[in-house]
Amino acid sequence: MNSEKYRKMPSKRTLCCSVKTGTLVIAALDIIRAVTFLIGGSLGLVYGRDSVHGLESVFVTVECSFAIGGGILSLALTALLVSAVTENKPRRCLPWLIFNYIEAVSLFIMLIGSIISGAPLLMLSFGIFIGVQLYFISVVHQFKDGASADSAV
């Protein structure tokens, strides 16, 4: 008998659902996060600069601008992720994956900074964020690899 024919194929499931559905759930959560950044950055620009003066006002403006820019970029990349899933075009996942790898590295750097400063609550929160981020990356990566393999066959 041909053992290749009976070899068990790897499961295309996440913890609770299929990889495709999991990727869409991650996209929905990413949209919520991006909208939160947009709202928070906008409110910070409108109300945050009134309470500080001088150089602190510049820092608030820069911080809020980064939040707004990150929210816009995240929305655009999440739109690509949704189109990758709905149109079964796995290569469209790559910009989202690259952005989230960079984000995971920056979270890791912040974790190291919180360890150095001795802030246990920050250590815990950055550790949780990194874990969730890496899980999301692995699910989207599974979708990309699975969809690529399916389209190659």
In a domain, 112, yes or no: yes
In a domain, 135, yes or no: yes
In single-letter form, the type of residue at position 68 comes to: I
In a domain, 10, yes or no: no
For the segment 126-146, the average pLDDT, to the nearest whole number, is 92
Quote the domain boundaries for residue 61. Answer: 17-152
In a domain, 4, yes or no: no
In a domain, 40, yes or no: yes
In a domain, 140, yes or no: yes
In a domain, 5, yes or no: no
For the segment 42-61, the average pLDDT, to the nearest whole number, is 80
Is-above-0.75 flag for pTM? yes
pLDDT digits (tens, 9 = 90+) for 68-116: 999 999 999 999 999 999 999 999 999 999 999 999 999 999 999 989 9
**CA–CA distance, 15 with 7 (Å, rounded to integer):** 23
For residue 93, what pLDDT is reported? Answer: 94
